[in-house]
Amino acid sequence: MFDVAIIGAGVAGCTAAIALAATHRVVLIDKQAEPPERIGESLAPAARRIFHQLGLLAEFNQQPHLLSQGMQSYWGSEQVQVVDNIRNPDGFGWHLNRQLFEAFLRESARLRGVECRWPVKLTASYYDQGHWCLTTDSCGYIKAKFVIDAGGRQAPFAKQQGMQREHIDKLIACWATIPDKSTNRMGLIASTDIGWWYSVVTPNNRRVITLQTDSDLIDAEIKKDLTRFIQLALCSPPMARLLQGLDFTAKADGAAYHGVTAANTTRLQQVAGKHCAALGDAAISFDPLSSQGIFNAMASAMQLADLLRSQKEVQVEYTKQIEQIWQYYVTHKNTYYRQENRWRDALFWRRRHLANVVGH
Ligand SMILES: Cc1cc2nc3c(=O)[nH]c(=O)nc-3n(C[C@H](O)[C@H](O)[C@H](O)COP(=O)(O)OP(=O)(O)OC[C@H]3O[C@@H](n4cnc5c(N)ncnc54)[C@H](O)[C@@H]3O)c2cc1C
């Protein structure tokens, strides 16, 4: 019998496992044998404090992630606004090699005594005689006193328990990578009529390019094809300047179109229940505009681990904490979208400005 079973060894699940390893018998499962290539590479400077608390800062600093100097943003006007990290009290953030980062977290959990099992997929769950019984596809049953659902937006355990998910919008992200040896350590955001572009250089000499838009606002062909996707990017003047001189043909080494992924704001209507809680994207998933998903996953994991260690009433306290994060996030998101008025008649922006009125 484990004290805690964690479903999902992404950033949220691994952070919780590492934080609980010294005080609890923890099992961590993931359906993927190793971390997949995932979108999302900017890590906020405040994560440094969490690495420090977990005793991971020195090891993390040895990894080949890039320091992030900040963000150039073309939002609300053609004039660039720069938010640089030089004045941030936590220092620089990072542009992560995401796969390497997650592999590092998995290995850190294993070294701290967490029982790590992958590839193992949760298939069913029920509560019986004072503990949870989890059924998996490849390692039989797992019994645990408390379950953490860190299974990402799919929230597999919460779904099995009938917890409903609220979807606030229809945001998707189309993403591609192209080779880029640039030493530019600034990310770029540029709004456009159907959404907004984001681009940054990652450690392996690659530039990530994403377009955030609503699922019904983009031509199906553009969603599938690197050349057409880049052609659309070139229609945005800041993106055209950024991509000048780069080889974005499909034959370029490292050039790939990765397709479409969900990027909408969602939340579970109930983030904690009887001896269980949802964490990270499983609990609330952010619009990538916030660039806070990874940090939120880590910070919420630390909060949940604190509550479990203190043996306080987890359900009420944790629900209160997540609700506070949600309110703060929604207010900020709406304020930020309100600052872009150049395409106020375009559907993407009308929907966001209306959200300000109805409060989502
Ligand atoms: C386009 C886009 C850009 C983003 N950019 C950024 C960014 O720059 N910075 C940032 O901070 N955030 C960013 N994010 C958000 C960030 O990526 C997420 O918030 C973060 O990945 C959440 O981590 P997680 O551990 O909660 O979930 P996930 O990373 O989704 O991990 C969930 C894990 O659960 C496993 N799993 C799922 N189902 C099961 C099952 N049944 N059994 C076993 N295992 C299971 C999965 O294999 C996976 O490993 C972005 C998101 C999007 C969509």
Answer whether 0.85 is exceeded by the pTM: yes
pLDDT digits (tens, 9 = 90+) for 287-299: 999 888 999 999 9
Whether residue 291 has its Cβ less than 6 Å from ligand 1? yes
DSSP string for 191-205: EETTEEEEEEEETTT
Burial class (CB in 10 A: 0-12, 13-18, 19+), 92: middle
How many angstroms separate the alpha carbon of residue 98 from the centre of ligand 1? 11
Whether residue 287 has its Cβ less than 6 Å from ligand 1? no
Mutate to test the pocket of ligand 1, among 31, 165, 211 (most ligand atoms within 8 A of CB): 31
pLDDT digits (tens, 9 = 90+) for 141-191: 999 999 999 999 999 999 999 999 999 999 999 999 999 888 878 899 999
Lay out the sheet containing 266-268: strands in order across: 165-167, 266-268, 284-285
Across 122-136, 209-223, 285-299, 313-327, least confident range: 209-223
Whether residue 150 has its Cβ less than 6 Å from ligand 1? yes
Q: DSSP H helical segments within the chain, as ranges?
A: 11-20, 47-54, 57-61, 98-111, 156-160, 226-234, 237-243, 293-310, 314-338, 347-358
Q: What is the pLDDT of residue 358?
A: 54
Whether residue 41 has its Cβ less than 6 Å from ligand 1? yes
Domains by residue range for the chain, with CATH: 2-41+96-167+265-328 (3.50.50.60), 171-262 (3.30.9.100)
Whether residue 136 has its Cβ less than 6 Å from ligand 1? no
How many angstroms separate the alpha carbon of residue 38 from the centre of ligand 1? 8
pLDDT at 97 over 90: yes
Whether residue 45 has its Cβ less than 6 Å from ligand 1? no
Q: What is the pLDDT of residue 246?
A: 86
pLDDT at 342 over 60: yes
